[in-house]
Amino acid sequence: MLQQNYGFSYDEYGNTKAILVYQRGFGVFGNSYTCKGNAYTQEERNTLEVDGSAPPTVRTLEQQVANSTQKVNAKESDIEKFIYLRALFDRNVTLAHAVIAADVARYMRIIYTPTVGLACQNYSSMFRQANGLHFYPGNIDKAESILRQFTHRDIRVAVVTDNQGILGIGDQGAGGIAICLGKLMLYTQGAGIAPWHCLPISLDVGTDNHTLLDDPEYLGWRHERLKGQDYIDFIQRFARAFRVVFPNAICQWEDFSKQNAFAIRDSYLHDLISFNDDIQGTGAITLAGVYSAMKIKNESITDQVFLIHGAGAGGVGIAEQIDVALIEAGLDPEQAKARIFTLDSHGLVTTDRRIEPYKEKFAKDPAQLPWLQKSGNATLLNTIKEAKVTVLIGTSGQHGCFSKEIVMAMLANSKRPVILPLSNPTSMSEAEPKDIYEWSNGQALVATGSPFEPVTHDGKAIRIGQCNNVFVFPGVGLGVLASGAKEVLPSFFTAAAKAVSQQVSEADLANGVLFPAIDKLNEVSLGVAFAVGEVAIQEGVSRLCVFSSFQHNNNVERLKELITKMRWSPTYLPLIPM
């Protein structure tokens, strides 16, 4: 075991109250958790023996944020801004998060989508410093001992990827860990989970991206992807080690491709405290937009017909969550499935086609739909017309496929159709919001996956709500941790969807806006965390549970207290010399 140069002191809520420092001199600057730049007080400079290592002027954190913001603004491109913020994070975690928190709506576009896609593609050439863990066939047998090097950090959340299904750009090999880094920064921003409790992990099982394999600078395992039993064995070895070393930590599966995403999620539902954000987070946030639309339309979710164009992990995850919500609202399982249609690159997903197992749940029997009998009728347009679709959701990555003709067909089915082009990045969005507003004369209810500028309609600027998982996963994580939930239940995500929708103001609803503004991330995450934690208590999976009915209110009050007080905010903590 490596000797650690720092540790943490916690209060009764599990929040860090001080950092214990076991080193002196320049080494204090070299640790991103104990580095304060020029913000060390004179007393700290003396006790930590760093006096003389920095200029004499003491800057406040606010002054440092202003200075760093100027430097970010001076960068010409988003990828240069990304590099600066990541470099700042590597040397001074608190300052980096303070800068981001000062304008989270702006910086989220830099540290996560869409800029993080470029970071994945350029990971090897941009590599400066190790962040997180890279498991590959050469070290997976040592996974447990490697993970134990991080036990002193009380790891609470790990984001784990096999790098195959990245943000619409596919297999990025070792570069996929940049997604994990970005997601964990958002856990900190939204849920207040301190960065030292977060661990990004790449499961490098190779890559089928031959551009990477042929690149002499590529840093990942130079091998085509493991498949079949070799892949399963690799994942199992990691999962066993993670469960042993971090039994109470959340394992968020990220950017696994299609069938693997569902198989791994389902395999570890009860063995790990785990979920797949691409499936369940995407499903929950999309359902939140649907709930908001129902408030605007003054209609029931059970009266809608849903079409998801794009039957990958995200698309089928959305279908699953809508299915759960329809059943909860009173439909029986067959009635619920009858209202959900999925399309892939070959058209409507039907039972008479050869399809992947994860698509089977929502495949339609052509014998039950007479309009499908005619060859060529399984198209996007025909399905909208014949099935009377009222909610159209895009996860296809096919830019522009929601054409004027598609929008007009939706208008024929509903005075206020819900049209959600969710594909990332912006260049892959199924439609531009301004076009949907123009074609529908402002009647369509629109939200997007990527950030778009406001649309002007009837002389009024209308904000485009962003259907972004960031409104879900940080709050789910905080709710699970605060409640001490022993597993992540599907009902957590329905609760999260309702909580996000409740955060949309009446003024926004009146303008047809379906999601809160990104700068409300903190408030939204708190609402989601409380909703998730309360469901955990009701379902009996919370460690707060005392199995007596009169204790329920006490548990809920304790949950509120924990959620409020266990959150870290980016301010400098006391450094205690040891």
Catalytic site residues? 112, 183
CA pair distance 355, 429, nearest whole angstrom: 25
Taking only Cα atoms into account, the Rg of the chain, rounded to an integer number of angstroms, comes to: 24
Rounded to the nearest 5 degrees, what angle is found at the Cα of 374, between the Cα atoms of 369 and 379? 80
d(CA 355, CA 353): 6
What distance, in Å, lies between the first and last C-alpha atoms of the chain?
Answer: 20
Round to whole Å and give the CA distance between 78 and 436.
Answer: 28
Nearest Cα to Cα of residue 481 among 158, 162, 236: 158
CB proximity list for 10: less than 8 A, separation 6 or greater: 16, 17
DSSP conformational letter for 281: I
Distances (CA, A) of 5 to 70, 185, 285, 358: 32, 23, 41, 47
The token pair that represents 349 in the structure block: 């997903």
Distance CA 574, CA 176 (A): 35
Q: How many other CB atoms are found less than 10 A from the CB of residue 223?
A: 15
Place of tokens 């809608």: 304
Strand bridging mode 16-21 / 133-135: unpaired
| Coil/strand/helix, residue 405 | helix
* Helix %, strand %, coil % of the chain (to 5): 50, 10, 35
Fill in the amino acid letter for 142.
K
Scan for tokens 């949309």, then name that residue: 504
Closest CA to 444 of 464, 470, 427: 464
Half-sphere exposure of 500 (CA within 13 A, CB side): 38
d(CA 295, CA 481) in angstroms, rounded, equals 31
Q: Are 314 and 395 in contact (CB under 8 A)?
A: yes
What's the length of the chain? Answer: 578
Beta-carbon count within 10 A of 330 CB: 11
